[in-house]
Amino acid sequence: MRTVDFTPLYRTIVGFDRLADMMDSAAKQEAGSGYPPYNIEQLGEHEYQIELAVAGFGEDDLVVEVQANVLSVTGKKGGEERTEGRNFIHRGIAERSFERRYHLADHVQVREASLKNGLLQIRLQREIPEAKKPRQITINSTKAKATLIEGGKASAA
């Protein structure tokens, strides 16, 4: 795997510490384990879905949490009680603990999470507040707004 050095970029940006930390974190995570495999899908202009393959994990084994624009998905198995007394000839189903983190853009909210057929689906939606949405500014003509005061009365010029 090829690593990217962002050091030259850090010398020319000011106030983007969070962005730099996110890039570092993403680079380190990608270098780590690819378990569990996942998809990120865009469902609409402002809707997304993260889908993780979590075969062997139940709802009680999974924790989905959002804190400071970071979505964390953690899976922990109950221990060795599931394998006690079992004699595996081949063991290819990974049931190891994991943690996946996804950095969410501003105004992206988690709407729901569901587990079906070994797939954990997390639906996300971007909701931009009215104050942050682009708005068109009406241009007023200074001619139409100019007023003259004549003898204590205002009249349009």
pLDDT tens profile 104-120: 998 999 999 999 999 99
pLDDT digits 0-9 by tens, 35-46: 899 999 999 999
Same domain, yes or no, for 63 and 123? yes
Same domain, yes or no, for 122 and 51? yes
**Tokens 């007394």 belong to residue:** 85
Same domain, yes or no, for 53 and 16? no
Confirm whether 108 is domain-assigned. yes
Confirm whether 150 is domain-assigned. no
Helix (H, G, I), strand (E, B) or coil at 144: helix
Confirm whether 140 is domain-assigned. no
The CB-side HSE value for 84 (13 A sphere, CA atoms) comes to 5
Confirm whether 49 is domain-assigned. yes
Alpha carbon distances (Å) from 112 to 22, 77, 117: 24, 22, 17
Confirm whether 135 is domain-assigned. no
Instruction: Give the number of domains in the chain.
Output: 2
Confirm whether 56 is domain-assigned. yes
| pTM (two decimals) | 0.65
Report the percent of the chain where pLDDT is more than 90: 41
Same domain, yes or no, for 114 and 80? yes
Distance CA 35, CA 71 (A): 16
Using an 8 Å Cβ cutoff, are 101 and 25 in contact? yes
**Domain limits for position 4:** 1-32
